[in-house]
Amino acid sequence: MREKRESDFKKIVLLNNKKIIKKFKKVFNKEIQMFAHEIFEAYKLCKIIDDQCKNNEQKQYVAMYLFNALNNLISSFNLLISGYLLPSGNLMRHFTESCAMAILSSDDNFFQKIKEENTKFPVHKSLDFVFANKKILDINKNGWIGFNGIKKIYNDYSHASLFSISASFLHCRYGEGITKIGPFFDDGKIDYYKKVINERINAVKSLKNIVNGLKIRINQKS
């Protein structure tokens, strides 16, 4: 690792990521446009639920978690194409848990439990709660197993594993001790970038399916 000076760290803290985003856009412009389209479609669906929940606290919880899921996806994608691979992965776990909490909030019993326990409610178990109550919540088993796979993929980003640490290494030089401090675009990670970008596009599609299902559930409530 090249020795750095204090001035180098000031540059890192105040870094403008336009150059990095430009590199991602050059390689993945089609995928970026697709994500923007899909996330806008998801926003319109979430807005419908938000417009229906003005005088119903339970529906407001559902809408709140859905918009949090939407925002986490946008932030995750932005961090990814800004060169922050690890923080981007962390937000994908938040995305899945927000979706699960929206589904749980649509159920009367879980809604009361979430309200009563507040910050003590075990959000990290929310996807398991949905799966265990899939019949009550009208959740497709295979579909939820696939969705749960998103969280499993990005669990490793939440711990200081060798997998997460590798995000700070230039892939094409991994093993040579070449690390990067701050955001960067790595030409050696093109295939991996394409994979994780497409994962986020598919995640938006999953969110749209979840919102459509929740529209039916909450419309049945007074």
Amino acid identity of residue 178, one-letter, is I
**Residue 162 confidence (pLDDT):** 59
How far apart CA 52 and CA 189 sit, in angstroms, is 44
Instruction: Check: pTM over 0.85? Answer yes or no.
Output: yes
**Residue 204 confidence (pLDDT):** 96
Instruction: Find, among 212, 214, 3, 193, the residue nearest to 85 by Cα.
Output: 193
**Residue 188 confidence (pLDDT):** 82
Looking at the DSSP bridge assignments, the partners of residue 179 are 169
pLDDT tens track of the chain, all 222 residues?
566 788 877 877 777 788 899 999 999 999 999 999 999 999 999 999 998 888 899 999 999 999 999 999 999 999 999 998 888 988 999 999 999 999 999 999 999 999 999 999 999 999 999 999 999 999 999 999 999 888 877 776 666 665 666 666 665 444 454 666 778 888 888 998 999 999 999 999 999 999 999 998 887 765
**DSSP H helical ranges for 14-160:** 18-51, 57-81, 85-105, 108-117, 126-132, 141-155
**Residue 174 confidence (pLDDT):** 44
**Residue 205 confidence (pLDDT):** 95
**Residue 173 confidence (pLDDT):** 46
**Residue 200 confidence (pLDDT):** 96
CB 62 within 8 A of CB 218: yes
